Structure 1
Amino acid sequence: MTPFEALPIIDIRRLFSANPADRQAVAEELGRAAREVGFFYISGHGISAERIAALRAATTDLFAHDFDWKMACHIGLGRGHKGYVPEGSEFYGSGRPDLKEAWDVGFEAADDHPFVLAGQPLISGNKWPALPGFRDSVDAYYADVFALGRKLFQGFALALGQDEHAFDALVTCPPSKLRLIHYPVDPSARDAPGIGAHTDYECFTLLLADQPGLEVLNGEGHWIDAPPVTVDGEELFVINVGDMLEVMTAGQFVATTHRVRKVQHERYSFPLFFACDYATKIRPLPEFDPTGERAAEYPDISIGDHMWSMALQTYRYLREKVANGELALPANARGTHTFGQFKALAE
């Protein structure tokens, strides 16, 4: 990883081109940014300003409701680990609870879906509040940004030397979570993390935020601001490599450590964590680990079990269930700080 001072911007319009050479050219830019930084902005993504505005309006309306109203859809009620996450519910690197509230929405799965019937954690229908227009706005945004994630995954496949459709069949009903995150105004929280230092657990993340606060750790151990960027009226998405792409590349793509700080203004953030289906086993691709030596550094664990084990170690209500023996970590579960620069520091 390089001592970068700013995130690169990649125009992905040619990723939608009918010309294979155009798509390959964008893929090479994706691969370079993933190797050198692990974070980058994308322009030309095709998500309309109207779609984004509708999501913001619905989210603002949602979090304006009182605490008891929101707690009726608490994430711990029912199955699927979806719904409202009150402030102080999550713990990352600092050991202190995060200063935010959130609403988690996942890939919609009917009760009779095979993955639901198999009892896979994180797979279920969503909790939808009794709020006119909320589901329509959030569903529409989820569909658009998830489709963008599929296109980016094809670009990453090309960047990894694979056929661009190599990973398509691995994404049918994944635990891909969209988080609607609200950072309230709290002057006393200025020097505390909104979200502590961490890596993302999935393949990659597509983030849209309306205020500064995101910081990314560079190759020299310095925190670099990654504020919202608008170019020619288009809000750019921030894309970052997650743990599973790091595994695929045996560490050549790094799950870059990041955090949210300096929450001086009310802030809304919308990350979509793009994942493969729950049971998908992620291992280093042969091109990046021809001898198989690096495979021993990574757990033989499904992407879903990795995500579930991270949730069990992060969310207060799940940590309590693990502590009292109601739930247990999956076999081969790793600690929350064992990828990206955390992994390098441990070596």
Structure 2
Amino acid sequence: MTNAPVLPVIDITRLGSDSLADRRAVARELDAACADYGFLYIKGAQLDGALFDSLVARAKAYFALPTATKMQSYIGLSQNHSGYVPVDEEQFAQSSVDLKEAFDVNLDYLLPTGRTPLLGPNLWPEMAGFQDDVQAYYRHVTGIGSALFRSFALALGLAETHFDALTSHAPSQLRLIHYPHDDTACDRPGIGAHTDYECFTLLFATAAGLQIVNKQGEWIDVPLIDGTMIMNIGDMMEILSNGRYVATRHRVKKVVEERYSFALFHACNYDHVIVPVVQNEVPLYAPLKCGEHLYNQTAQTFAYLKRRIASGELVLNAAVPLDSFGQRAVTTA
């Protein structure tokens, strides 16, 4: 790993301080990094390296299983869009089909929900220890996310607890992703260019490969830094901040070594309507229903949902095209 950051590095340790001044100081740093870049690194006492290591080991063991075994928990069999995602399942817009496999986990929502997409019990594989390790990581990183939501509230001039009730049972998704190394894959990307749909993402990865678009419209590499996670702004935080923070397009290029990454996408509650929250500004964005946006964007990328749309089984409501947020820059290859 390299120690030459191309993005800001924010120490979030003081978000756990009893001093409001300490928490405000972190919020100012977070605000500046998100306004200037939309991508940053976070570090701090909150990050539990042992949990990260356990999840890496578990993911390696899981993805090494035969495809037939993994397909027993295929995401298309789930109630809440959870489970195994095989290679060739996802495609962003007109880009190449992604060269990756994944296992997706949502909030394990056990209350009655009718037929609300994305809410329900997770589909888990029959692998000893898998659910325990994944849920431990999910709880840990959503806890960090809760502290960051409070920091965003301070940064945007709101009450520190503004987002607490709005994220109490959010369909925040964790993706365990395996990017195989394949010399025969030409320039097929690990994941095509896109913005994330939610408020913000916290990412831990084992190898390089992530690229982002800078303000000049150029693709730049994001190296890994020991002891950090990568954080980025998504569509919903762009709206909430009324454009102060802009969702940044990113991709994973063809990897030069096997890569595992763990992305937790932090959202608001399914039924919450996302609107700009900045005071004394004319809203620049129309309201957006959180769960509807998540599902609509997902349905435009996953093959099993595209098949349901094509058959007429699934009809999307008020879906905006993929890549509707973020910089409108022309990017270079």
Contact 1:120/1:278 (8 A) holds in 2 = no
Q: How does 1:127-166 map to 2 (within 5 A)?
A: 127-166=123-162
The residue type equivalent to 1:213 in the other structure is: G
Alpha-carbon deviation of 1:173? 1.6
Match of 1:212 in 2: 208
Instruction: Deviation per CA, 1:12-53: give whole Å up to 9, x if none.
Output: 111111000000000011111111000000010522221111
Secondary structure at the counterpart of residue 22 of structure 2:
helix
Secondary structure at the counterpart of residue 33 of structure 2:
helix
Match of 2:303 in 1: 316
Distance 1:190 1:206, change over 3 A: farther
Distance 1:339 1:17, change over 3 A: same
Match of 1:242 in 2: 234
Instruction: Deviation per CA, 1:90-128: give whole Å up to 9, x if none.
Output: 111443210000000111111xx14x23x3210111111
Match of 2:189 in 1: 193
Contact 1:45/1:148 (8 A) holds in 2 = no
The residue type equivalent to 1:124 in the other structure is: G
Contact 1:203/1:244 (8 A) holds in 2 = yes
In structure 2, C-alpha distance between the alignment counterparts of 1:223 and 1:95, rounded to whole Å: 16
The residue type equivalent to 1:291 in the other structure is: V
In structure 1, C-alpha distance between the alignment counterparts of 2:326 and 2:44, rounded to whole Å: 28
Secondary structure at the counterpart of residue 166 of structure 1:
coil
Q: Which segments of 5 or more consecutive residues in structure 2 lack a partner in the other structure?
A: none
Contact 1:190/1:261 (8 A) holds in 2 = no
Of 288, 294, 308 in structure 2, the residue corresponding to residue 301 of structure 1 is: 288
Q: How does 1:329-340 map to 2 (within 5 A)?
A: 329-330=316-317, 332-340=318-326
Of 218, 221, 231 in structure 2, the residue corresponding to residue 225 of structure 1 is: 221
In structure 1, C-alpha distance between the alignment counterparts of 2:93 and 2:292, rounded to whole Å: 21
Alpha-carbon deviation of 1:336? 0.6
Contact 1:190/1:263 (8 A) holds in 2 = no
Match of 1:291 in 2: 282
Alpha-carbon deviation of 1:262? 3.2
Contact 2:58/2:130 (8 A) holds in 1 = yes
In structure 1, C-alpha distance between the alignment counterparts of 2:151 and 2:184, rounded to whole Å: 43
Distance 1:240 1:45, change over 3 A: farther
Q: How does 1:275-290 map to 2 (within 5 A)?
A: 275-287=267-279, 290=281
In structure 1, C-alpha distance between the alignment counterparts of 2:249 and 2:319, rounded to whole Å: 19
Contact 2:247/2:326 (8 A) holds in 1 = yes
Q: How does 1:112-127 map to 2 (within 5 A)?
A: 113-114=111-112, 116-117=113-114, 119-127=115-123
Match of 1:266 in 2: 258
Match of 1:74 in 2: 74
Alpha-carbon deviation of 1:324? 1.4
Match of 2:249 in 1: 257
Contact 2:118/2:295 (8 A) holds in 1 = yes
Contact 2:242/2:278 (8 A) holds in 1 = no
Distance 1:308 1:45, change over 3 A: farther
Query: What percent of counterpart residues are identical?
Result: 46
The residue type equivalent to 1:282 in the other structure is: I
The residue type equivalent to 2:184 in the other structure is: S
TM-score (norm 2): 0.95
Contact 1:301/1:333 (8 A) holds in 2 = no
Alpha-carbon deviation of 1:190? 5.2
In structure 2, C-alpha distance between the alignment counterparts of 1:217 and 1:167, rounded to whole Å: 29
Secondary structure at the counterpart of residue 274 of structure 2:
coil
1:341 aligns with 2:327: yes
The residue type equivalent to 2:292 in the other structure is: D
Q: Which segments of 5 or more consecutive residues in structure 1 lack a partner in the other structure?
A: none
Secondary structure at the counterpart of residue 179 of structure 1:
strand
Aligned length: 326
Alpha-carbon deviation of 1:57? 1.0
Match of 1:26 in 2: 26
Q: Which moved more, 1:95-104 or 1:183-192?
A: 183-192
Match of 1:10 in 2: 10
Secondary structure at the counterpart of residue 306 of structure 2:
helix
Secondary structure at the counterpart of residue 184 of structure 2:
helix
CA RMSD of aligned residues (A): 1.4
In structure 1, C-alpha distance between the alignment counterparts of 2:94 and 2:190, rounded to whole Å: 11
In structure 1, C-alpha distance between the alignment counterparts of 2:159 and 2:134, rounded to whole Å: 32
Match of 1:104 in 2: 104
